[in-house]
Protein backbone atom coordinates (compact mmCIF):
# COMPACT_ATOMS: atom_id res chain seq x y z
CA UNK A 1 0.00 0.00 0.00
CA UNK A 2 1.08 3.61 0.10
CA UNK A 3 0.21 7.14 1.17
CA UNK A 4 0.58 10.24 -1.01
CA UNK A 5 -0.46 13.86 -0.47
CA UNK A 6 -0.83 16.68 -2.98
CA UNK A 7 -1.55 20.21 -1.72
CA UNK A 8 -2.42 23.19 -3.93
CA UNK A 9 -2.10 26.62 -2.30
CA UNK A 10 -1.99 30.23 -3.47
CA UNK A 11 1.79 30.25 -3.07
CA UNK A 12 2.52 26.92 -4.72
CA UNK A 13 2.15 23.18 -4.30
CA UNK A 14 3.45 20.47 -1.97
CA UNK A 15 3.84 16.81 -2.94
CA UNK A 16 4.72 14.01 -0.51
CA UNK A 17 4.85 10.24 -1.03
CA UNK A 18 6.10 7.21 0.84
CA UNK A 19 7.83 4.31 -0.91
CA UNK A 20 6.46 1.09 0.58
CA UNK A 21 4.63 -1.34 -1.71
CA UNK A 22 4.67 -4.54 0.35
CA UNK A 23 4.78 -5.15 4.09
CA UNK A 24 4.72 -8.90 4.63
CA UNK A 25 6.21 -10.59 7.65
CA UNK A 26 9.42 -11.50 5.82
CA UNK A 27 9.46 -9.11 2.84
CA UNK A 28 9.29 -5.33 2.66
CA UNK A 29 9.52 -3.80 -0.82
CA UNK A 30 10.37 -0.21 -1.66
CA UNK A 31 9.55 1.67 -4.88
CA UNK A 32 9.33 5.40 -5.45
CA UNK A 33 5.81 6.78 -6.07
CA UNK A 34 6.79 10.26 -7.29
CA UNK A 35 7.64 11.08 -10.91
CA UNK A 36 8.61 14.53 -12.18
CA UNK A 37 8.07 15.63 -15.79
CA UNK A 38 9.94 18.85 -16.48
CA UNK A 39 10.68 21.05 -19.49
CA UNK A 40 12.79 23.98 -18.26
CA UNK A 41 11.07 27.37 -18.39
CA UNK A 42 8.03 25.78 -20.05
CA UNK A 43 6.32 23.24 -17.79
CA UNK A 44 6.70 21.40 -14.49
CA UNK A 45 4.46 18.44 -13.62
CA UNK A 46 4.46 15.92 -10.78
CA UNK A 47 2.75 12.52 -10.68
CA UNK A 48 2.08 10.58 -7.46
CA UNK A 49 0.67 7.06 -7.71
CA UNK A 50 -0.97 4.47 -5.48
CA UNK A 51 -2.46 1.05 -6.08
CA UNK A 52 -1.19 -1.82 -8.19
CA UNK A 53 2.51 -1.17 -8.78
CA UNK A 54 2.67 -2.74 -12.25
CA UNK A 55 -0.20 -0.53 -13.42
CA UNK A 56 1.24 2.70 -12.01
CA UNK A 57 4.72 1.98 -13.38
CA UNK A 58 3.31 1.31 -16.84
CA UNK A 59 1.26 4.50 -16.73
CA UNK A 60 4.08 6.76 -15.65
CA UNK A 61 6.43 5.43 -18.34
CA UNK A 62 3.86 5.50 -21.16
CA UNK A 63 2.77 8.99 -20.16
CA UNK A 64 6.04 10.35 -21.57
CA UNK A 65 5.15 9.13 -25.08
CA UNK A 66 1.34 8.89 -25.05
CA UNK A 67 -0.37 10.79 -27.90
CA UNK A 68 -4.00 11.85 -27.93
CA UNK A 69 -5.45 12.33 -31.42
CA UNK A 70 -6.85 15.83 -32.06
CA UNK A 71 -7.94 15.47 -35.68
CA UNK A 72 -6.30 15.46 -39.12
CA UNK A 73 -5.05 19.06 -39.06
CA UNK A 74 -3.49 19.19 -35.58
CA UNK A 75 -0.50 17.47 -34.05
CA UNK A 76 -1.37 14.75 -31.51
CA UNK A 77 -1.69 16.01 -27.93
CA UNK A 78 1.05 15.01 -25.47
CA UNK A 79 2.07 16.21 -22.02
CA UNK A 80 4.97 18.02 -23.72
CA UNK A 81 2.87 20.15 -26.08
CA UNK A 82 -0.31 20.54 -24.00
CA UNK A 83 -1.18 24.19 -23.54
CA UNK A 84 -2.99 23.61 -20.25
CA UNK A 85 -2.81 21.22 -17.32
CA UNK A 86 -6.36 20.17 -18.21
CA UNK A 87 -5.14 18.88 -21.56
CA UNK A 88 -2.15 17.23 -19.86
CA UNK A 89 -4.40 15.34 -17.44
CA UNK A 90 -6.56 14.26 -20.40
CA UNK A 91 -3.44 12.60 -21.78
CA UNK A 92 -2.87 10.94 -18.41
CA UNK A 93 -6.46 9.64 -18.39
CA UNK A 94 -5.99 8.23 -21.87
CA UNK A 95 -2.78 6.55 -20.73
CA UNK A 96 -4.58 4.89 -17.82
CA UNK A 97 -7.25 3.59 -20.20
CA UNK A 98 -4.57 2.32 -22.60
CA UNK A 99 -2.96 0.30 -19.81
CA UNK A 100 -6.40 -1.02 -18.87
CA UNK A 101 -7.03 -2.14 -22.45
CA UNK A 102 -3.66 -3.90 -22.51
CA UNK A 103 -3.58 -5.47 -19.05
CA UNK A 104 -7.13 -5.34 -17.71
CA UNK A 105 -8.39 -8.63 -19.20
CA UNK A 106 -5.31 -10.56 -18.03
CA UNK A 107 -5.54 -9.08 -14.54
CA UNK A 108 -9.23 -9.93 -14.35
CA UNK A 109 -8.53 -13.52 -15.46
CA UNK A 110 -5.98 -13.76 -12.65
CA UNK A 111 -8.48 -12.41 -10.11
CA UNK A 112 -6.66 -9.07 -9.72
CA UNK A 113 -8.55 -5.76 -9.74
CA UNK A 114 -7.39 -2.93 -11.96
CA UNK A 115 -6.55 -0.66 -9.05
CA UNK A 116 -4.67 2.62 -9.45
CA UNK A 117 -5.16 6.22 -8.36
CA UNK A 118 -2.96 9.22 -9.03
CA UNK A 119 -2.39 12.83 -8.08
CA UNK A 120 -1.21 14.94 -11.00
CA UNK A 121 -0.30 18.58 -10.56
CA UNK A 122 1.90 21.27 -11.99
CA UNK A 123 2.06 24.39 -14.09
CA UNK A 124 2.46 25.17 -17.78
CA UNK A 125 3.86 28.56 -18.79
CA UNK A 126 1.10 31.11 -19.22
CA UNK A 127 -1.38 29.15 -17.10
CA UNK A 128 -2.16 28.96 -13.39
CA UNK A 129 -1.13 25.97 -11.28
CA UNK A 130 -3.62 23.10 -11.29
CA UNK A 131 -3.90 19.77 -9.50
CA UNK A 132 -6.04 16.71 -10.29
CA UNK A 133 -7.03 13.42 -8.69
CA UNK A 134 -7.16 10.67 -11.34
CA UNK A 135 -9.14 7.46 -10.82
CA UNK A 136 -8.54 3.98 -12.22
CA UNK A 137 -11.08 4.59 -15.01
CA UNK A 138 -9.03 7.53 -16.27
CA UNK A 139 -11.57 10.14 -15.13
CA UNK A 140 -10.50 12.94 -12.80
CA UNK A 141 -11.49 15.82 -10.54
CA UNK A 142 -9.65 19.10 -9.84
CA UNK A 143 -8.55 20.68 -6.56
CA UNK A 144 -10.41 23.88 -5.66
CA UNK A 145 -10.23 26.54 -2.95
CA UNK A 146 -12.74 24.50 -0.96
CA UNK A 147 -10.74 21.29 -1.43
CA UNK A 148 -7.10 22.32 -1.64
CA UNK A 149 -5.52 18.90 -1.07
CA UNK A 150 -5.82 15.33 -2.33
CA UNK A 151 -4.78 12.06 -0.69
CA UNK A 152 -4.40 8.58 -2.17
CA UNK A 153 -3.65 5.29 -0.48
CA UNK A 154 -3.94 4.98 3.31
CA UNK A 155 -5.49 8.41 3.78
CA UNK A 156 -7.59 8.10 6.93
CA UNK A 157 -4.85 8.37 9.56
CA UNK A 158 -3.31 11.55 8.20
CA UNK A 159 -6.45 13.42 7.17
CA UNK A 160 -7.44 15.13 10.48
CA UNK A 161 -4.37 17.38 10.65
CA UNK A 162 -4.80 18.40 6.99
CA UNK A 163 -8.47 19.25 7.56
CA UNK A 164 -7.67 21.39 10.61
CA UNK A 165 -4.62 23.28 9.31
CA UNK A 166 -4.69 23.75 5.54
CA UNK A 167 -6.34 26.67 3.77
CA UNK A 168 -5.46 28.20 0.37
CA UNK A 169 -3.47 30.94 2.17
CA UNK A 170 -1.29 28.55 4.19
CA UNK A 171 2.44 29.31 3.60
CA UNK A 172 4.32 26.61 1.68
CA UNK A 173 6.78 25.73 4.44
CA UNK A 174 3.92 25.41 6.93
CA UNK A 175 2.05 23.18 4.46
CA UNK A 176 5.16 21.00 4.04
CA UNK A 177 5.35 20.65 7.83
CA UNK A 178 1.66 19.75 7.94
CA UNK A 179 2.14 17.10 5.23
CA UNK A 180 5.04 15.55 7.17
CA UNK A 181 2.96 15.45 10.37
CA UNK A 182 0.17 13.78 8.37
CA UNK A 183 2.65 11.23 7.04
CA UNK A 184 4.10 10.60 10.52
CA UNK A 185 0.60 9.90 11.87
CA UNK A 186 0.09 7.38 9.07
CA UNK A 187 3.46 5.72 9.61
CA UNK A 188 2.62 5.36 13.30
CA UNK A 189 -0.70 3.60 12.64
CA UNK A 190 -0.15 1.60 9.45
CA UNK A 191 2.63 -0.87 8.66
CA UNK A 192 1.89 -0.73 4.93
CA UNK A 193 3.27 2.82 4.71
CA UNK A 194 6.99 3.33 5.20
CA UNK A 195 10.19 5.28 4.67
CA UNK A 196 11.91 6.65 2.68
CA UNK A 197 9.71 9.60 1.70
CA UNK A 198 9.90 11.95 -1.27
CA UNK A 199 8.98 15.59 -0.53
CA UNK A 200 8.75 18.31 -3.20
CA UNK A 201 7.76 21.95 -2.77
CA UNK A 202 6.89 23.93 -5.91
CA UNK A 203 6.65 27.72 -5.83
CA UNK A 204 4.07 29.37 -8.10
CA UNK A 205 5.48 30.54 -11.43
CA UNK A 206 8.91 28.91 -11.00
CA UNK A 207 8.44 26.14 -13.63
CA UNK A 208 11.14 24.21 -11.76
CA UNK A 209 11.93 23.18 -8.20
CA UNK A 210 15.12 22.66 -6.25
CA UNK A 211 13.18 21.97 -3.04
CA UNK A 212 13.15 18.19 -3.45
CA UNK A 213 14.39 15.81 -0.78
CA UNK A 214 14.41 12.09 -0.04
CA UNK A 215 13.75 11.53 3.67
CA UNK A 216 15.04 8.36 5.36
CA UNK A 217 15.20 7.28 9.01
CA UNK A 218 18.29 9.41 9.65
CA UNK A 219 16.73 12.72 8.49
CA UNK A 220 17.05 15.15 11.45
CA UNK A 221 14.01 17.28 10.62
CA UNK A 222 11.64 14.34 10.20
CA UNK A 223 12.97 12.72 13.38
CA UNK A 224 12.24 16.00 15.17
CA UNK A 225 8.70 16.00 13.72
CA UNK A 226 8.19 12.40 14.86
CA UNK A 227 9.30 12.97 18.46
CA UNK A 228 7.83 16.47 18.90
CA UNK A 229 4.40 15.71 17.44
CA UNK A 230 3.89 12.68 19.67
CA UNK A 231 5.09 14.57 22.75
CA UNK A 232 2.92 17.63 22.08
CA UNK A 233 -0.14 15.45 21.46
CA UNK A 234 0.36 13.80 24.85
CA UNK A 235 0.80 17.20 26.51
CA UNK A 236 -2.40 18.54 24.95
CA UNK A 237 -4.26 15.36 25.90
CA UNK A 238 -3.07 15.54 29.51
CA UNK A 239 -4.08 19.22 29.63
CA UNK A 240 -7.74 18.39 28.92
CA UNK A 241 -9.87 17.79 32.04
CA UNK A 242 -10.96 14.26 32.83
CA UNK A 243 -14.74 13.73 32.78
CA UNK A 244 -16.55 14.62 36.02
CA UNK A 245 -19.66 12.54 36.56
CA UNK A 246 -20.88 14.44 39.62
CA UNK A 247 -20.44 17.90 38.14
CA UNK A 248 -18.68 19.36 41.16
CA UNK A 249 -16.93 22.67 40.50
CA UNK A 250 -16.08 21.95 36.86
CA UNK A 251 -17.29 24.25 34.09
CA UNK A 252 -17.62 21.29 31.74
CA UNK A 253 -19.72 18.59 33.42
CA UNK A 254 -20.24 15.36 31.54
CA UNK A 255 -23.56 14.26 33.01
CA UNK A 256 -26.20 16.79 31.99
CA UNK A 257 -29.80 16.40 31.00
CA UNK A 258 -30.85 16.26 27.38
CA UNK A 259 -34.25 16.43 25.74
CA UNK A 260 -33.15 14.36 22.77
CA UNK A 261 -33.09 10.94 24.39
CA UNK A 262 -32.24 9.09 27.57
CA UNK A 263 -30.08 5.99 28.00
CA UNK A 264 -31.93 2.73 27.41
CA UNK A 265 -31.95 0.52 30.45
CA UNK A 266 -33.85 -2.62 31.33
CA UNK A 267 -34.11 -3.39 35.04
CA UNK A 268 -35.17 -6.85 36.10
CA UNK A 269 -36.99 -7.14 39.45
CA UNK A 270 -35.02 -9.34 41.91
CA UNK A 271 -37.90 -11.79 42.06
CA UNK A 272 -37.78 -12.25 38.27
CA UNK A 273 -34.08 -13.02 37.97
CA UNK A 274 -33.15 -16.22 36.19
CA UNK A 275 -30.76 -18.36 38.19
User: Can you give the pLDDT at residue 251?
Assistant: 84
pLDDT in tens, 7-61: 999 999 999 999 987 655 566 778 999 999 999 999 999 999 999 999 999 999 9
User: Can you give the pLDDT at residue 260?
Assistant: 79
For 90-117, what is the mean pLDDT?
96
Residue 273 has pLDDT above 80, yes or no: no
Closest among 189, 192, 144 to 168, alpha carbons compared: 144
Q: How far is 93 from 135, CA to CA, in rounded Å?
A: 8
DSSP state of 220: H
Instruction: Please compute Rg for the chain using Cα positions.
Output: 24
User: Can you give the pLDDT at residue 29?
Assistant: 78
pLDDT in tens, 143-187: 999 999 999 999 999 999 999 999 999 999 999 999 999 999 999
Residue 94 has pLDDT above 60, yes or no: yes
205 upstream amide cis, omega within 30 of 0: no
Give exposure, 25-34, as e/b (b: 16+ Cβ within 10 Å): eeeeeeeebb
pLDDT in tens, 60-74: 999 999 999 988 889
For the chain, what is the mean pLDDT? 93
User: Can you give the pLDDT at residue 166?
Assistant: 98
Closest among 51, 62, 49, 69 to 113, alpha carbons compared: 51
Helix axes 53-62, 85-109, angle to 10 degrees: 140
Residue 1 has pLDDT above 80, yes or no: no
What residues contact 210, with CB distance under 8 A and at least 6 apart? Answer: none
Q: How far is 112 from 109, CA to CA, in rounded Å?
A: 8
88: pLDDT confidence band, cut at 50, 70 and 90? very high
Higher per-residue pLDDT: 227 or 247: 227
- Domain 3-234, CATH class in plain words: alpha beta
pLDDT in tens, 184-203: 999 999 988 999 999 999 99
Closest among 24, 52, 18 to 188, alpha carbons compared: 18
User: Can you give the pLDDT at residue 266?
Assistant: 81
User: Can you give the pLDDT at residue 205?
Assistant: 98
Q: How far is 87 from 65, CA to CA, in rounded Å?
A: 15
Residue 106 has pLDDT above 80, yes or no: yes
What residues contact 10, with CB distance under 8 A and at least 6 apart? Answer: 168, 169, 204
Residue 275 has pLDDT above 60, yes or no: no
Residue 100 has pLDDT above 90, yes or no: yes
Closest among 142, 145, 175, 182 to 160, alpha carbons compared: 182
Q: How many residues does the chain have?
A: 275
User: Can you give the pLDDT at residue 24?
Assistant: 57
Amino acid sequence: MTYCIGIRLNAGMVFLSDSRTNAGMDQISTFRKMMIYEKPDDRFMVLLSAGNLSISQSVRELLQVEKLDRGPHEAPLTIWNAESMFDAVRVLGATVRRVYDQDGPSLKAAGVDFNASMIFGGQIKGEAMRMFLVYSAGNFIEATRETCFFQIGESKYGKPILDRVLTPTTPLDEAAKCALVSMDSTLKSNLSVGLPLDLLVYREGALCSEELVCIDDSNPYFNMIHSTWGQRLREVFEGIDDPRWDGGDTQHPLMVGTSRYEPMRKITHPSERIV
